[in-house]
Structure 1
Amino acid sequence: MDRPVADLKYVGPQRRARLDRLGIRTVKDLIYHFPRRYEDRRRLSTLDGLVPGSRVTVLVTIVGWEEKSVRPRLTLMRAEVEGEGGRGYAVWYNQAYIKRRLPPGSRVLLTGKVSVRSLLPEIQVDDYELLEGEYTGLNTGYLVPFYPSSAGLTQRWHRLVTYQALAEYLPHIKETLPLEWRQQYRLVPLAKALRDIHFPSEEKALHQARRRLIYEELLIWELALAMHRRRTAGSEGGIAHSRDNTLVNKFLKGLPFSLTRAQERVLEEIFTDMEAPRPMARLLQGDVGSGKTVVAAAALVKAASGGWQGALMAPTEVLAEQHFLNFRRLLGSLGLSVALLTGSTNRREKDRVIAGLETGQISVVVGTHALIQESVKFKSLGLAVIDEQHRFGVRQRAQLPAKGRTPDLLVMTATPIPRTLALVAYGDLDVSLIDELPPGRKPVATYVLTGSQRRQAYRLVAKEVQAGRQAYIICPLIDESETQEAAAAAARARELQERVFPAFKVGLIHGRLRPAEKEEVMERFRQGDIQILVGTTVIEVGVDVPNATVIVIEGAERYGLAQLHQLRGRVARSSHQAYCLLITENNLGGTGRRLKVLVDNSDGFAIAEADLRLRGPGEFFGTRQHGWPEFRLAEFPRDLAVLEQARKDAHFLILSGYLDRPEYAELKALAEEKLAAWEV
């Protein structure tokens, strides 16, 4: 199964390269590349019962051929056919070879779209199968699979090479679930499931194959998570941080506000973990504006007070810079050295920070992926904090703690994660939840406007700015590139400054600005020099300007609900009434229903659940975020019950010792293989 796919018949160098683009490099990759849909071609139609515009499969005999040049480089091949119900025609374009392949007298199954020619039915052929004896082939006459494919790989070829691989290798495949386990859950054998997922004889066989394979992939995932958690919890040399919280208490007393009860509860959970002699592995969830950053800062102070170093990794430079400025302000008075390290840090400063981390002179470092570069070494990393964890993924989550000797790990997210997703993506972590906002916060008044109502939005912006407050205007999300997004934002900022808000100061921020430029813009906005900030989603998380009370989001239909909720959270940061105006060119049907969820809800978890139902996990976190695990067949929330059962079974197999039995060896090996991939 691990042999190169190039060893298979019909796979030459060009097709091997195209398969490689699909991630198919071995025979196993090919066999586990499952169809995305099926077309029922079992029901044969008669020629006298064909309806124009319908797709049909018919059994016919070729009577004769006509070849005609329709226009330059377009040749029509038309066959006269006869079958049950009379006569008709079959058409192919630019396939001169078809005449040789299907000479008169050939019995053929044809699948295609029906039209009418000279009162007789004519089929534009998508697929055909030459019948030889009882063999009906792979492309017609049954539930025909269609695969996620690449340019240059036809569905006919993909079916053929997959069929050959199954015929040659399926007899040698190792079963992963013992007989008693399969009997308990009424699961078909693995070989049968793999055959039937590709070439099912009927719907029941397809259903049983999917059921078996979905359960298995979720069980392997949950086993890997459970192994990871057990390995982390059972590892020796965990740091038992000091119970002396003198410096932490000094930090908390110096804050200009009091912690909420939820923050105090979560901080106690984190400190209990940190003081234990095993590595902490905890997920901190909290809605926008709930105060996760202060909790993380307190945990970093606790680590530093005992002589350990702390590191916080954020997914974007803007967010890293925001955290750095906050921490420098909050921790500087405690005598703790705080540094910033990102991809844009200049060489001289980068060398200074790297040297300070290695000697221990720097107590806390904030950064992006730059923190996990090989050149970065810590003298004594005691706490790793990862913000907006879902943007990194399991493997990257492991890379920052690997810089120390089993340091504690705290991962944070401001995107409320439904229990479904938390079980899958964070099954190896304990969960703390800040479920309370600071007192005095009012829900953001949210409205959906069409493009023709844009002037109303601008009137509200002007009114708020005239009252001494500030506003954000977010440009539409552009999928093509960050460069195009930046150019569009710059053009929009010029237009707003010159034509719409000439009396106010309009600023611009986007991902293509250098860090120093971004910080200059944000500092001017914080100081009130910039009254209206035009930007892209770089301001989605972390930006904290309490005086900003209105946000206008253009092209709102292009964002997920969770991302819109994040953007809305930028103006929910004071006791003033705040406003979120969602501008869309399409407020009908599904888009209208989706945006209404945001209008009707201020609870991030309710919004997250709705986003999951409407869009699925693949887009739940937003189009630019990649932490969600990819499954071949499992989908959520459809397969939640299977996931929860797999989770229970994974823990049972490990705790009972069953996983160490010989009959579970293949299952254990697959889970360890997945775990090893995370830890690379």
Structure 2
Amino acid sequence: MNSELDKQITYLKGVGPKRAEMYKKIGVFTVYDLLCHYPRDYIDLTDTVPISDSALNETVAVKGTVVRKLAPARIRKGMTVYKAVFTDGTSDLTVVIYNSEYLFSQLALDGEFYLVGRITGNLIRREMSSPLVFRADTPFKVQPVYRLTEGLSQTVLRNNMKNALDSFGKYIYEPMPAHIRSDAGLCAMEYAVTNIHFPKDIHCFEQAKKRLVFDELLILQLAMAMLRSKGRSLTGYVLKEKNIDEFYKSLPFELTNCQMQAVSDCMEDMQKPFPMNRLVQGDVGSGKTAVAAAVAYFAYKNGCQSALMAPTEVLAHQHYETLKGFLEPLGVKVALLTGSLSTKEKSLVKQGLENGEYHVAVGTHALVQQNTRFKNLALVITDEQHRFGVRQRAFLAQKGSNPHKLVMSATPIPRTLAMMIYGDLDISVLNELPKGRQPIETYAVTGKLRQRAFAFVSKQLDEGRQGYVVCPVIEESEMALQDVKSYANKLSENGFDKYRIGLLHGKLPNEEKDRIMRDFKEHKIDLLVSTTVVEVGVDVPNATIILVENADRFGLSQLHQLRGRVGRGQYKSYCVLITDNVNETTKKRLKILSSTSDGFKISEEDLKLRGPGDFFGDRQHGLPKLKIADVSHDLDILRKVQKTAELIIESDPMLEKGENKGLKELVNRLFEYANADDL
């Protein structure tokens, strides 16, 4: 990496200590960081319209001359209005500027300019208030628009960027081997960086973007591949082949083909000298826990311990009961370790884990505490892995001698995206539902049918069943969305006062959330009004109805996850989606959900319709934030990148060849950014 580019931002002309502090707020510390602060949009000055053709209340670009400047008018204390008359030779426009003598002074009389702003007024007399002003002779006809913070303006940032390119552009180096660039038809890096900020035209912009998207995705794929190689240090537990037919025979049901394949994949991995690093990705109700139990039994047959970490106490309890049911009849001792156990209980469990009395431990973050020790931990299983802090996962993995790792996720993700998010894991997919599981009938209706929906919910409750109502927000907001707090009150006014109603949302303390979910599971609550915190919840076989308000506010994958809260027992189950937003997109989305229960198919559609927000929201998977790539639009590039990354890693697993030096530096930079040992 060129040390010139790593100079502090204060090396740039026009950036002093005060402005440097503002830049820090948007993650810009060095000249390199600034050059990588890509525009979020562009103003195209080549796309101007005649003033006479400009539509009212639309934002447009016009080109013309200032022909008259009026005297400033002070309309009240602290408010001065400046006006100028602007013409394109055919029609006139009044430019109105509030409280900015500087902007008014820029509009020199008889000067030729581009103005960008919203047209107001009427068909005869048009106005534009506080426009963006560009001199007609500006060499940059496509102007960048950046993400800002308070105290930084577009003009300041553009000027700083021009200075950075003028003074440091020559230090932008080429990290990509020439043959890869040539094969992928990519422009040079210096050209790409210059033209992403100040493109000469749309073709230059497209070339620049293609190059930078390719690089960003390639570095991410290479980082994942190197993590995989890093994890290939020898494990202390190379397990022997064992027959586990007695486990299969003891089950009260038959495993599906894909469950059997997943178990087989895991057992094969665990017999290798490197630790297993596998993701079992399955739809709601696809039987991931049965796979985890089979693999834990395989470890037990090899004389080793397993640990399963769940994100909440209630889920830990559920996994504990399930694993106990599967494994204890076969002589496997299962322990539960959670924060709510008494000090004495915790001490006894920890003692049992350390001396090998317990073969399987199920718990929450209590499993990763310093004083929890295992005798011979060979297998670490994490459930809903993206909900854990990266450090917690790393701590648990350090409890044994480089143990095997199995990750379970109930979020169906399109394979291309899964390869990107979990690029350091091998993937087993559970895409068959266990035999006998009933499909959930799904109905999408408007708010006009709310009372009928309420009557349907009541009918289920009167039959002794339970239900969920899900709202998008906790408290009343200006956005006219249903909120859980007032909804619970509304229900009691609509004939639900005879039922026991519970209220669950993210702002409640964890102990309170766990208590409410426990009460619901034990049928002390008939109807649970909740936000999406129930999305990953406990199994309540008696729950047969879920009603989702403002369904258009949720992603399809999220709605599918919510729907999976019901249909877990012997009773016919239903999902009612209510929305008052009946535009074509909403209709199309909800129709997809009503017509299929295949979570993978739904996630593919979700990706097409909404982009990757559902999958990358809040960086929930621990991925570094993408600066320029948009996976929903750049899938073709991603596929090419994945092939390129495979070829590079095949010939140079740790990027040690001279030609890959630049790529390795960028991977290391990404590792620094993302604390990659825990990525």
Matches within 5 A, 1:612-631: 612-620=607-615, 625-627=620-622, 630-631=625-626
2:571 alignment partner, one of 561, 576, 594: 576
Output the TM-score relative to the length of structure 2. Answer: 0.88
Measure the CA separation in 1 of the matches of 2:566 and 2:56: 56
- Quick check: 1:76–1:94 contact (8 Å CA) kept in 2? yes
Counterpart residue number, 2:63: 58
- Quick check: 2:323–2:334 contact (8 Å CA) kept in 1? no
Counterpart residue number, 1:40: 44
1:579 CA displacement: 0.6
1:608 CA displacement: 0.7
Measure the CA separation in 1 of the matches of 2:431 and 2:213: 33
Counterpart residue number, 2:72: 67
Distance change in 2, residues 1:374/1:69 (3 Å): farther
- Quick check: 2:61–2:116 contact (8 Å CA) kept in 1? yes
- Quick check: 2:475–2:486 contact (8 Å CA) kept in 1? no
1:401 CA displacement: 2.0
1:240 alignment partner, one of 238, 241, 263: 238
Counterpart residue number, 1:184: 183
1:155 CA displacement: 1.2
Are 1:534 and 2:524 counterparts? no
Are 1:633 and 2:628 counterparts? yes
- Quick check: 1:560–1:620 contact (8 Å CA) kept in 2? no
2:600 alignment partner, one of 576, 584, 605: 605
Counterpart residue number, 2:214: 215
Are 1:124 and 2:129 counterparts? yes
SS at match of 2:627: coil
Counterpart residue number, 1:678: 676
1:143 CA displacement: 0.8
SS at match of 1:278: coil
1:195 CA displacement: 0.3
SS at match of 1:404: coil
- Quick check: 1:225–1:675 contact (8 Å CA) kept in 2? no
Over residues 496-541 of structure 1, what are the superposed CA-to-partner deviations in whole Å (9 max), with x where a residue is unaligned?
3564223333334444555555455444433444333333323222
Counterpart residue number, 2:308: 312
Measure the CA separation in 2 of the matches of 1:212 and 1:302: 47
- Quick check: 1:505–1:532 contact (8 Å CA) kept in 2? yes
Over residues 378-420 of structure 1, what are the superposed CA-to-partner deviations in whole Å (9 max), with x where a residue is unaligned?
5533112122234458777555424432211111111111112
Which is further off, 5-14 or 569-578? 5-14
Measure the CA separation in 1 of the matches of 2:91 and 2:517: 76
- Quick check: 2:86–2:95 contact (8 Å CA) kept in 1? yes
Measure the CA separation in 2 of the matches of 1:83 and 1:616: 41
Are 1:430 and 2:426 counterparts? yes
1:583 CA displacement: 1.6
Distance change in 2, residues 1:637/1:98 (3 Å): closer
Measure the CA separation in 2 of the matches of 1:45 and 1:249: 75
Counterpart residue number, 2:279: 283
Over residues 585-626 of structure 1, what are the superposed CA-to-partner deviations in whole Å (9 max), with x where a residue is unaligned?
223332222111111111111111111111111224767945
1:495 CA displacement: 4.5
SS at match of 2:231: helix
Code of the aligned partner of 1:8? L
Are 1:592 and 2:594 counterparts? no
Counterpart residue number, 2:336: 339
Counterpart residue number, 2:319: 323
Over residues 62-82 of structure 1, what are the superposed CA-to-partner deviations in whole Å (9 max), with x where a residue is unaligned?
644420123333211113456
Which is further off, 392-401 or 87-96? 392-401
Measure the CA separation in 2 of the matches of 1:639 and 1:201: 23
Distance change in 2, residues 1:549/1:272 (3 Å): same
- Quick check: 2:269–2:276 contact (8 Å CA) kept in 1? yes
SS at match of 2:28: coil
Which is further off, 185-194 or 10-19? 10-19
- Quick check: 2:474–2:485 contact (8 Å CA) kept in 1? no
Distance change in 2, residues 1:358/1:170 (3 Å): farther
Code of the aligned partner of 1:243? E
Counterpart residue number, 2:502: 507
SS at match of 1:177: coil
Counterpart residue number, 2:543: 548
Matches within 5 A, 1:88-127: 89-101=94-106, 104=109, 106-115=111-120, 122-127=127-132
Distance change in 2, residues 1:479/1:227 (3 Å): farther
Distance change in 2, residues 1:625/1:45 (3 Å): closer
SS at match of 1:191: helix
- Quick check: 2:611–2:632 contact (8 Å CA) kept in 1? yes
1:49 CA displacement: 6.8
SS at match of 2:144: strand
Counterpart residue number, 2:32: 28
Counterpart residue number, 2:452: 456
Which is further off, 470-479 or 438-447? 470-479
1:473 alignment partner, one of 469, 475, 481: 469
Measure the CA separation in 2 of the matches of 1:461 and 1:29: 54
1:196 CA displacement: 0.1
- Quick check: 1:389–1:627 contact (8 Å CA) kept in 2? no
Measure the CA separation in 2 of the matches of 1:295 and 1:328: 14
1:318 CA displacement: 3.9
Over residues 442-469 of structure 1, what are the superposed CA-to-partner deviations in whole Å (9 max), with x where a residue is unaligned?
2111001222312212222222233332
- Quick check: 2:66–2:108 contact (8 Å CA) kept in 1? no
Measure the CA separation in 2 of the matches of 1:448 and 1:118: 44
1:291 CA displacement: 0.8
Matches within 5 A, 1:383-422: 383-392=379-388, 398=394, 400-422=396-418
1:197 CA displacement: 0.2
Counterpart residue number, 1:655: 650
Distance change in 2, residues 1:601/1:26 (3 Å): same
- Quick check: 1:318–1:539 contact (8 Å CA) kept in 2? no
Distance change in 2, residues 1:674/1:358 (3 Å): farther
1:224 CA displacement: 1.3
Measure the CA separation in 1 of the matches of 2:150 and 2:584: 33
- Quick check: 2:444–2:577 contact (8 Å CA) kept in 1? yes
1:160 CA displacement: 1.1
Counterpart residue number, 2:435: 439
Counterpart residue number, 2:6: 2
Measure the CA separation in 1 of the matches of 2:342 and 2:507: 16
Measure the CA separation in 1 of the matches of 2:650 and 2:356: 40
Measure the CA separation in 2 of the matches of 1:480 and 1:369: 34
Measure the CA separation in 1 of the matches of 2:98 and 2:424: 55
Distance change in 2, residues 1:61/1:395 (3 Å): farther
Over residues 311-363 of structure 1, what are the superposed CA-to-partner deviations in whole Å (9 max), with x where a residue is unaligned?
22334444334323433454455352412335x77777666666665665554
Code of the aligned partner of 1:678? A
Code of the aligned partner of 1:449? V
SS at match of 2:306: strand
Measure the CA separation in 2 of the matches of 1:350 and 1:151: 50
Percent identity of equivalent pairs? 41
Measure the CA separation in 2 of the matches of 1:400 and 1:64: 71
Counterpart residue number, 2:252: 256
- Quick check: 2:262–2:429 contact (8 Å CA) kept in 1? yes
CA RMSD of aligned residues (A): 3.3
2:288 alignment partner, one of 262, 279, 292: 292
SS at match of 2:336: strand
Code of the aligned partner of 2:405? L
- Quick check: 1:549–1:576 contact (8 Å CA) kept in 2? yes
1:471 CA displacement: 1.8
SS at match of 2:131: strand
Output the TM-score relative to the length of structure 1. Answer: 0.88
Which is further off, 91-100 or 57-66? 57-66
